[in-house]
Amino acid sequence: MAMADDRVVRVAADLVESAAAEGARQSRSAKQQLDHWARVGRAVSSQHSASRRQVEAALAGSLDVASLTVEEGVVFNTEVAVAVDESLACVHFGRLLAAGGATTVALDDEGRIVEYRPDW
């Protein structure tokens, strides 16, 4: 099987760090580990087995999570955890709460305390 040319993409720093650590344990570079994870994830995500349909139904809310098998539950929990992590990375809670009238504080990228006040 011919390998496609590599492309430059941005990858979240936490994934690169995790890939470097896991890659060292598996005798792979961080890039090789990321490629491995991506291929495994692609293969799992593309499966349209009965189990995958069960997980997708539970994610959509049309199937009770309690009816999933242990293995399906692991996939369900992983899908939810990843979705939550991705959502949290895109939300600035300080600004959201300030817009709703709450004063909040948070640390900026340099570790300084920043106060977010309501805009009224």
**pTM for this predicted structure:** 0.52
Q: What is the pLDDT of residues 59-99, one digit of tens each?
A: 999 999 999 999 999 999 999 999 998 888 778 777 778 77
Cβ atoms within 10 Å of 23's Cβ, excluding its own: 19
Say how far apart CA 43 and CA 50 lie, in whole Å: 15
Q: What is the pLDDT of residues 11-36, one digit of tens each?
A: 999 999 999 999 999 999 999 999 99
What's the chain's Rg over C-alpha atoms? Answer: 20
Q: Where are the domains of the chain?
A: 11-46
Token pair 């098998």: residue: 69
Buried b (16+ CB within 10 A) or exposed e, 79-111: eeeeeeeeeeeeeeebeeebeeeeebeeeeeee
Task: List all residues 6 or more positions away from 65 whose beta carbon is below 8 Å from its beta carbon.
Answer: 58, 73, 76
Q: What is the pLDDT of residues 52-65, one digit of tens each?
A: 899 999 999 999 99
